[in-house]
Chains A and B, each alone.
Chain A
Amino acid sequence: MTGLKLLDERRRQVFEKGSEPADFEIACGKPSLSGAVSQRACVFCGSRVVLYPIADALHIVHGPVGCAAYTWDIRGSRSSGPELHRMSFTTDLRETDIIYGGEKKLEAALRQLIARHNPRAAFVYGTCVVGVIGDDVDAVCRKMTAECGIPVIAVHSEGFKGTKKDGYKAACDALWRIVDSGETTEKRPYSINILGEFNIAGEAWILKEYFRKMGVEVVSTFTGDGRIDEIRNARQASLNLVQCSGSITALASRMKSEYGIPFIRVSFFGIEDVSKALYAVADTFKDNKDIMARTRALVSEELSVLLPQLEKYRKDLTGKKAAIYVGGAFKAFSLIVALRHLGMSVVLAGSQTGNKDDYETLKEICDEGAVIVDDTNPVELCKFMLEKGVDLLIGGVKERPMAYKLGVAFCDHNHERKIPLAGFEGMVAFAKEVHASVMSPVWKFAPRMEAKP
């Protein structure tokens, strides 16, 4: 396996710390190489993941059946009320629609669905064929907005028009239209929006509880447990927290330039990063000394409960090696720190959509010998997992069977998971997840381990 050669076109997207010159610049942001078996999805996927959790909106996929079917209720984004987001709607275009166009079908579908489900807004995702048959989705959306009295918003997410990141951008454009339709501009004191928080397994609720204890009002979350009216109120917040930065920084930047709402990048994964995020908020509102005092109390209380619980996991996990392959690089930073806290080192780290700055940071925080990959594929992932002798892979559903086949433990840190991993309690859940897999006795039967003396 060690003899495996990388595809020439991908050489610049793979970096080994210590073997390559330090000024090696990891190539990124490129379209995936044809035939390379990228783990990435497409523009549509990018839009769909960002907007998906808005629970009182209608999400209709304009295109043939596949795109809607593959994304039906696959994520763990929870709602405290309506659950329209967990249904799958599509115009299900057929051959004749491809020939004669799908606008009429879309219009009729919207009319029917809006009457039936009474949503607060509708998002219309354009897929590949819609982009080439020339449907005027914007015109249909304008017409239906006027007719139905709710915002009907076109999301230009044709799969081929860029990478997943362009899908994030299209989703941010769609969100902006809701945000900017908010009528009240009055600022609420000590209030925040949490951007890039998708309420996987109820994570947003965990965070909201922290902020409630701190005395900070959460105006809206984008888009976990999302509601159209809450998003409309977002401009009343005095600070934006940006969590999944790759997906939503575009929106935060726009809210900063248009409404003067500052934003800070945070992460709620891992003890250090959660604490840092909460203190950063308290620091922004430092004119209110109570907030900082309450934050200190909160963090110290949580840590006093948490640290002893982590100790037993740490004892077993110390010295184990991990690989991380996730969508956005920012999450990888937190995971590296969180794993260190458990005594583990990261020997392979990568992301589907990291940018130049992300990879510079990764190069800095990774240990010597670590491999860093952009938009990698199964062959490379397995090659480096074996070469580096990892004990754990963190990724999503597509990466899971690779780990298991090689006798390597796995932790799902993607949107499909049903276990909250954010916040202080999330750190315990994370440690428990990692521990349960790494320490499982089944690996002793794996050929890789049996071969070891």
Chain B
Amino acid sequence: MSTKTKLITEPGREVTQDACRVCAPLGACLAFKGVEGAVTLLHGSQGCATYIRRYLISHFREPIDVASSSFTEETAVFGGKANLLAGLDNISRQYTPQLIGVATTCLSETIGDDVAAVLRDRVPADPEEKCKVLNVSTPSYSGSHADGFYRAVRSLVSALTEETSEVFTQRLNVFPGMATPADIRWLKSLFKAWGLEAVVLPDYSDTLDGGLWDTYQRIPSGGTSLAAIRGMGGAECSLEFGHALNPADSAAVWLEECRGVKRLLLGAPVGVAASDLFFHRLQALTGRDFPADLSAERGRLIDAYADGHKYVSGKRAAVYGDADLVATLALFLLEIGVTPVVCAAGGPVSAFREVMKGLVPDFEERGMEVLSDVDFDHIEQATARVGVDFMIGSSKGYKAAKRLGVPLVRVGFPIHDRFGAARQRLMGYDGTQRLFDELVNTLLSHTQEATGLGYSYM
């Protein structure tokens, strides 16, 4: 299937039309939201912080404060040091955070600010300040928000995790990637039920999906504690979800190389096979039997697969968005008999084809087109060319789906035109169950509307 038609716009082309990604600093802001007492400072112009807040808030529907070092023309000429230092002091005074994560932007990177050196030499204005400050390099001209996310998680671990000779069995580090708050909550309760002491990083399950406040919370409660991150070196192993993440950006790789914690990389547990693999790993770690209630959940999911298979069997889909999620969803779709004929990663992901080849060795024979670093214009053209029954990915694919006349199943980030994105569940047998129900219902609804016959019995 290497007969790609020449498109008007090709990867490496001069223009991006309707991007299928946003920039790296956003990912860092999201990752730092999952650390207890943390505030993000974006080192650059005021707009970056504001746009990113708007984008995240529209998805999570929660207050998200992101500070900016608010560059002026002078700052851009003489360097951002003074603004950075003032910004840190002001955040410290206004928020009393435990941690400030400084993420760079295209501007501060281009003018060559040495953020690490500024932080190293910094003397806080308030001698009482007990705030840890760390930095991550997230220039917008490199990678995507997903890369910024992974890099920020890695920076947390590399800046905080202490060396230890003690290893605690049944202690686990978990790096779930850009999971939904609901999936993070599910993971935490699962590990607890299995008697595992798991540190999930990041954990924005409360900070980005919490209750109303009786009084103003400068920093919403919740998040992985700094103490827990410090102690990650003593874990038996690290579970990292992902297929396409760059090892150089991986927190688990860093822990393995620098703290001797074994890394177990596996795909996010979406679908029966991926969940089986995940639970087998947990069984191996704990020596436990497969719990009966989980067995029942698995049974219900397979029952649903049987009841619903005719609605999905032989269908064709376009899946797009962040590379790891695209790979995860592609495997799920294949499992239920849908061919993901377009698998498009919006970000520039090195060797995405090889990654997919490793997961689906015969993807070319199956007629799957694997793309990375593509915009929605490209995705739409590829989809139109091969023809699909539905699209699956973020809400930004809505226009393409509408023009193509196919339904859209909204999964991933961002979801700006529907409600409850933070509570979306994908992982485990029951998460997959919800995704499967949603998918089948979307197709049913589309058929019902398309026939126009008004059947209330489908």
| Chain A residues proximal to chain B, CB less than 8 Å | 1, 7, 9, 31-45, 60, 63-74, 87-95, 97-98, 105-106, 108-109, 112-113, 116, 127-129, 131-133, 159-163, 377-379, 382-383, 386, 397-398, 400-402, 404-407, 445-448, 451
A113 to B377, CA, bound (A): 12
B365: chain A residues at CB < 8 Å are: none
Question: Cβ of A34 and Cβ of B23 under 8 Å apart?
Answer: no
A60: chain B residues at CB < 8 Å are: 15
A404 to B64, CA, bound (A): 13
Given contacts A41-B50, A160-B71, 16 further A-B contacts (CB under 8 A): A1-B216, A7-B90, A34-B69, A37-B68, A40-B46, A41-B51, A45-B51, A65-B144, A72-B19, A106-B14, A127-B106, A159-B46, A378-B63, A405-B213, A447-B213, A448-B214
Contacts A1-B215, A67-B51, A88-B17 given; does A32 touch B63 at CB 8 Å: no
Chain B nearest CB, measured from A192 CB (Å): 33
Question: Cβ of A401 and Cβ of B50 under 8 Å apart?
Answer: no
Partner of A70, one of B45, B51, B69, B72: B51
**B208-225 toward A: CB 8 Å interface, digit per residue (1/0)?**
000111111110000000
A445: chain B residues at CB < 8 Å are: 212
Is B70 an interface residue when CB atoms closer than 8 A count as contact? Answer: yes
Contacts A32-B70, A128-B45, A401-B61 given; does A89 touch B17 at CB 8 Å: yes
Chain A nearest CB, measured from B384 CB (Å): 16
B326: chain A residues at CB < 8 Å are: none
B453: chain A residues at CB < 8 Å are: none
Contacts A1-B215, A65-B23, A66-B140 given; does A89 touch B110 at CB 8 Å: no
A94 to B62, CA, bound (A): 32
Chain B nearest CB, measured from A10 CB (Å): 9
A105 to B12, CA, bound (A): 10
A73 to B216, CA, bound (A): 32
6 A–B contact pairs at CB < 8 A?
A35-B69, A41-B51, A65-B141, A66-B22, A129-B107, A160-B71
A97: chain B residues at CB < 8 Å are: 141
Is B382 an interface residue when CB atoms closer than 8 A count as contact? Answer: no
B47: chain A residues at CB < 8 Å are: 41-45, 67, 159
Question: Cβ of B212 and Cβ of A404 under 8 Å apart?
Answer: yes
| Chain B residues proximal to chain A, CB less than 8 Å | 8-9, 13-19, 21-23, 25-26, 41, 44-55, 57-58, 61-73, 75-76, 83-84, 86-91, 93-95, 105-107, 110-111, 139-142, 144, 211-218, 348, 396, 399
A382 to B63, CA, bound (A): 11
Chain A nearest CB, measured from B215 CB (Å): 5
B105: chain A residues at CB < 8 Å are: 128
B46: chain A residues at CB < 8 Å are: 32, 38, 40-42, 159, 163
A40 to B18, CA, bound (A): 25
Partner of B49, one of A37, A68, A382, A451: A37
Question: Cβ of B65 and Cβ of A65 under 8 Å apart?
Answer: no
A88: chain B residues at CB < 8 Å are: 16-19
Partner of B19, one of A42, A43, A90: A90
Question: Cβ of A446 and Cβ of B212 under 8 Å apart?
Answer: yes
3 nearest A-B residue pairs (beta carbon):
A42-B47, A66-B23, A35-B90
Contacts A40-B46, A42-B45, A397-B54 given; does A35 touch B72 at CB 8 Å: no
Question: Cβ of A160 and Cβ of B140 under 8 Å apart?
Answer: no
A71 to B18, CA, bound (A): 10
Contacts A45-B47, A70-B51, A379-B218 given; does A91 touch B15 at CB 8 Å: yes
Question: Cβ of B16 and Cβ of A90 under 8 Å apart?
Answer: yes
Question: Cβ of A64 and Cβ of B23 under 8 Å apart?
Answer: yes
A41 to B66, CA, bound (A): 12
A40 to B46, CA, bound (A): 7
B45: chain A residues at CB < 8 Å are: 42-44, 128, 159-160
Residue of A whose beta carbon sits closest to that of B60: A401
A66: chain B residues at CB < 8 Å are: 22-23, 25-26, 48, 51, 106, 140
Contacts A41-B51, A160-B75 given; does A35 touch B87 at CB 8 Å: yes
Residue of A whose beta carbon sits closest to that of B55: A70
A65 to B68, CA, bound (A): 19
Question: Cβ of A112 and Cβ of B15 under 8 Å apart?
Answer: yes
Question: Cβ of A379 and Cβ of B214 under 8 Å apart?
Answer: no
Question: Cβ of B14 and Cβ of A406 under 8 Å apart?
Answer: no
Partner of B65, one of A133, A378, A407, A448: A378
Contacts A41-B51, A92-B16, A447-B213 given; does A129 touch B66 at CB 8 Å: no
Chain A nearest CB, measured from B115 CB (Å): 14
Chain B nearest CB, measured from A282 CB (Å): 40
B16: chain A residues at CB < 8 Å are: 65, 68, 88-92
Residue of A whose beta carbon sits closest to that of B213: A405
Question: Cβ of B84 and Cβ of A34 under 8 Å apart?
Answer: yes
Chain A nearest CB, measured from B63 CB (Å): 4
Chain A nearest CB, measured from B108 CB (Å): 9
B64: chain A residues at CB < 8 Å are: 401
Chain B nearest CB, measured from A391 CB (Å): 15
A33: chain B residues at CB < 8 Å are: 70, 86, 90
Partner of A98, one of B19, B52, B141: B141
Question: Cβ of A405 and Cβ of B94 under 8 Å apart?
Answer: no
